[in-house]
């Protein structure tokens, strides 16, 4: 019996190999071996990061990793995961100083298999088995895409057969559905082919019809809807809603007519809306499914601004909202109207479903979206309804839609961490509220807006996931805070105005801790090992009993998260300036199991080294300007020397490289001993906790 992984048909197509190696001899050995086995080979050899980034944009069957000038196998695996082919198999060749006990470690990192070229036949068999696996994945992806397209075509065809639809070219009928023929009392399609649309519809206002039809007949037509009153004797002055769509298969336009006798909804988009939801439900096979309705809140000021937008800008606005909502729920989102959207939330059990819904609370408050470099604030009314099976019909979908209106999503008392924790400070919330509502007698200051945001419970938290090179801490997130002012994001971390307002700074930090821990406890239902790095100001360290009692109460309420899930992050510069290195609070925090992180670290080697040695923090965030060192070999080498020096002072401290917003900086970060990587390349800052793999 022949091994099915070694079929001769693998020789009938070209093998596409991307070989990472600084040894031309090994490259020649591989290509010659395959040629002697009668394989067609397309191979490319490289040994540097920039070339690898470019080549990843091309389709490959297998990546072979030998040895490279400035590229590590871990870097290569990370970049593959972020590429268009995240499951592309990588084979490791003749790793230096390899020991058999390292095999599982490499496999767990994501290497598909390891081979020694000194045994060419073994390598050849392994390569063919890998190729068979790779081709199977490619075929599966292709088939899934084709099946989805066929499924959509079948369902669309079925829908179209029940609707009045015609193909129009240059104003002439080319084909029509049975329902279209019935509408005009015609017996066969032969009666309509070649007939001008104007002659059939006989609009009451022919001039207006011609003007509208001219607009939809432009070289790049857009979907356009308008209504007419038809004088056709078969219709008896009936109102017709005409929906024109660019035709995907042929030249011309697809016309769908909604009329009074039609069983379909007047909203053509809603007729097809539930099919993508059904596809997700049936293919994912996840037991708990909820439809969530998003109804856009638009202030009178925003309405006035939107009314001035050009039509293409309005379309961009609607698209941006749809994309924003998709990013929030990481699932299907459908536009029903420009201000109403419906999405799908799925979970493996009821507890996880509730956790996912609770994480969407921020959508009921202002959020920023950017359109053509302009910022807009959006917020939504949220309603939900559970569905236990795929949607059966348009009527069933309408029932779900109406049922959702009767069930607003509420967020009271999440997970036992009460928002009623009182702030004991020189400035109470009542004072903040009073200050916010009073008329400003001097020029507005940012602290006034912070007070107003606190009074309205409208401070915004953003979360960004860290990448751990060791894959040990998969769910670690930094918490950032800010406010939206004049449609702009204002970052409140290290804000000079807060340094001059210690009481307000303490209240803000306490609010941030409470709200972040609510999100932590909710998200920990899905991932109990989650850790939060919460940015705080130094005032809270010296504000009497402002911090420790609050943390004790919160730790007692964290029912889902682990007790070591909190890391408090402070500015290294401010701790040194204020002489807080030896403060007694560090021992109190350690007794609670709460770790410390430092930010703005590394710009003063000696001063920061002393602080590091004294505090022994869990994490040190290297100053943002040190990210620039990754672009220079000389600066990178110096940075590595500093990290080695810091490690000697505090062996248990891990270092974080931040602001890694491009593929190149993220990849270069593997060349220094910073364990954690963070930046928009791995995950952008989000309004909720979300695992990057989702």
Q: pLDDT tens, 389-417?
A: 888 887 888 888 888 988 999 876 544 55
Q: Hey, which bits of 25-75 come out as E strands?
A: 41-46, 62-65
428, pLDDT greater than 50: no
Return d(Cα 626, Cα 668) in angstroms, integer: 12
**Quick one: pLDDT at residue 485?**
86
**Quick one: pLDDT at residue 553?**
92
**Residue range 189-195: average pLDDT?**
91
Q: pLDDT tens, 592-627?
A: 999 999 999 999 999 999 999 999 999 999 999 899
Return d(Cα 459, Cα 450) in angstroms, integer: 8
Return d(Cα 608, Cα 606) in angstroms, integer: 6
Nearest alpha-carbon partner for 531 in 601, 612, 593? 593
Mean pLDDT is highest, among 106-120, 164-178, 364-378, 610-624, for: 610-624
Label residue 148 by pLDDT band (50, 70, 90): low
Q: pLDDT tens, 325-378?
A: 988 988 888 888 888 899 999 998 999 999 999 999 999 988 888 877 788 888
267, pLDDT greater than 50: no
Strand, coil or helix: 160: helix
First to last CA, the chain: 42
Residue ranges of alpha helices (H) inside 570-679 are 572-577, 585-591, 605-615, 633-649, 663-668
**Residue range 151-176: average pLDDT?**
72
Give the count of beta carbons closer than 10 Å to the beta carbon of residue 66. Answer: 21
CB 505 within 8 A of CB 448: no
Q: Which domains does the chain have, with CATH numbers?
A: 4-142 (3.40.50.2300), 163-259 (3.30.450.20), 292-411 (3.30.70), 429-677 (3.20.20.450)
Label residue 641 by pLDDT band (50, 70, 90): very high
Return d(Cα 587, Cα 537) in angstroms, integer: 18
Residue ranges of alpha helices (H) inside 222-375 are 268-284, 300-306, 311-329, 350-358
CB 565 within 8 A of CB 592: no
Structure tokens at 76: 């290569």
CA dihedral 108, 109, 112, 113 (to 10 degrees): -80
């Amino acid at each position: 019996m022949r091994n099915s992984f070694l079929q001769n048909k693998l020789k009938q197509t070209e093998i596409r190999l991307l070989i990472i190696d600084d040894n031309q001899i090994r490259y020649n050995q591989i290509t010659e071996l395959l040629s002697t086995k009668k394989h067609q080979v397309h191979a490319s050899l490289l040994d540097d990061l920039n070339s690898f980034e470019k080549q990843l944009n091309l389709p490959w069957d297998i990546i072979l990793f030998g040895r490279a000038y400035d590229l590590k196998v871990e870097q290569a695996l990370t970049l593959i995961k972020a590429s268009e082919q995240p499951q592309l198999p990588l084979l490791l060749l003749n790793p230096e100083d390899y020991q058999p006990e390292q095999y599982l470690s490499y496999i767990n990192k994501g290497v598909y298999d390891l081979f020694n070229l000194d045994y060419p036949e073994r390598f050849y068999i392994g390569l063919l088995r890998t190729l068979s696996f790779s081709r199977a994945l490619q075929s599966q992806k292709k088939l899934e895409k084709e099946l989805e397209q066929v499924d959509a075509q079948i369902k669309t065809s079925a829908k179209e057969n029940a609707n009045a639809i015609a193909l129009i070219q240059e104003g002439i009928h080319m084909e029509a559905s049975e329902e279209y023929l019935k509408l005009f009392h015609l017996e066969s399609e032969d009666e309509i082919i070649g007939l001008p649309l104007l002659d059939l519809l006989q609009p009451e206002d022919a001039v207006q019809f011609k003007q509208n039809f001219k607009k939809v007949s432009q070289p790049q037509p857009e979907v356009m809807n308008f209504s007419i009153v038809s004088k056709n004797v078969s219709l008896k002055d009936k109102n017709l809603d005409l929906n024109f769509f660019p035709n995907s298969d042929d030249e011309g336009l697809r016309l769908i007519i909604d009329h009074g006798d039609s069983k379909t909804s007047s909203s053509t988009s809603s007729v097809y809306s539930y099919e993508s939801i059904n596809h997700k439900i049936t293919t994912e096979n996840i037991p708990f499914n909820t439809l969530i309705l998003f109804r856009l809140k638009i202030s009178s000021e925003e309405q006035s601004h939107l009314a001035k937008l050009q039509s293409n800008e309005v379309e961009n606005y609607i698209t941006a909202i749809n994309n924003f909502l998709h990013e929030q729920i990481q699932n299907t989102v459908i536009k029903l109207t420009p201000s109403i959207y419906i999405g799908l939330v799925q979970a493996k059990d009821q507890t996880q479903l509730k956790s996912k819904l609770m994480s969407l609370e921020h959508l009921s408050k202002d959020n920023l979206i950017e359109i053509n470099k302009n910022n807009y604030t959006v917020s939504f009314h949220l309603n939900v309804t559970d569905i236990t099976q795929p949607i059966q019909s348009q009527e069933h979908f309408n029932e779900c839609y109406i049922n959702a209106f009767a069930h607003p999503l509420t967020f009271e008392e999440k997970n036992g961490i009460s928002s009623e924790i009182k702030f004991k400070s020189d400035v109470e919330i009542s004072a903040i509220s009073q200050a916010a509502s009073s008329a400003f007698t001097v020029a507005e200051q940012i602290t006034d807006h912070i007070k107003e945001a606190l009074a309205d419970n409208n401070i915004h938290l953003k979360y960004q996931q860290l990448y751990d090179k060791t894959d040990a801490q998969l769910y670690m997130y930094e918490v950032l805070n800010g406010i939206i002012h004049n449609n702009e994001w204002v970052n409140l971390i290290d804000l000079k105005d807060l340094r001059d307002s210690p009481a307000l700074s303490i209240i803000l930090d306490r609010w941030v801790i409470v709200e972040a821990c609510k999100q932590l406890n909710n998200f920990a239902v899905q991932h109990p090992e989650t850790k939060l790095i919460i940015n705080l100001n130094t005032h809270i360290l010296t504000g009497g009993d402002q911090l420790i009692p609050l943390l004790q109460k919160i730790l007692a309420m964290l029912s889902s998260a682990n007790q070591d899930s909190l890391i408090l992050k402070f500015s290294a510069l401010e701790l040194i300036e204020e002489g807080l290195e030896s403060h007694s609070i560090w021992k109190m925090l350690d007794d609670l199991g709460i770790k410390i992180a430092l930010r703005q670290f590394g710009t003063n080697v000696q001063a920061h080294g002393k602080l590091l040695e004294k505090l022994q923090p869990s994490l040190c965030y290297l100053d943002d300007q040190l990210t620039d060192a990754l672009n220079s070999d000389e600066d990178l080498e110096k940075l590595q020397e500093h990290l080695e020096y810091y490690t000697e002072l505090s062996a248990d401290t891990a270092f974080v490289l931040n602001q890694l917003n491009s593929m190149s900086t993220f990849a270069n970060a593997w060349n220094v001993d910073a364990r954690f990587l963070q930046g928009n390349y791995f995950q952008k800052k989000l309004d909720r906790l979300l695992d990057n793999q989702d």
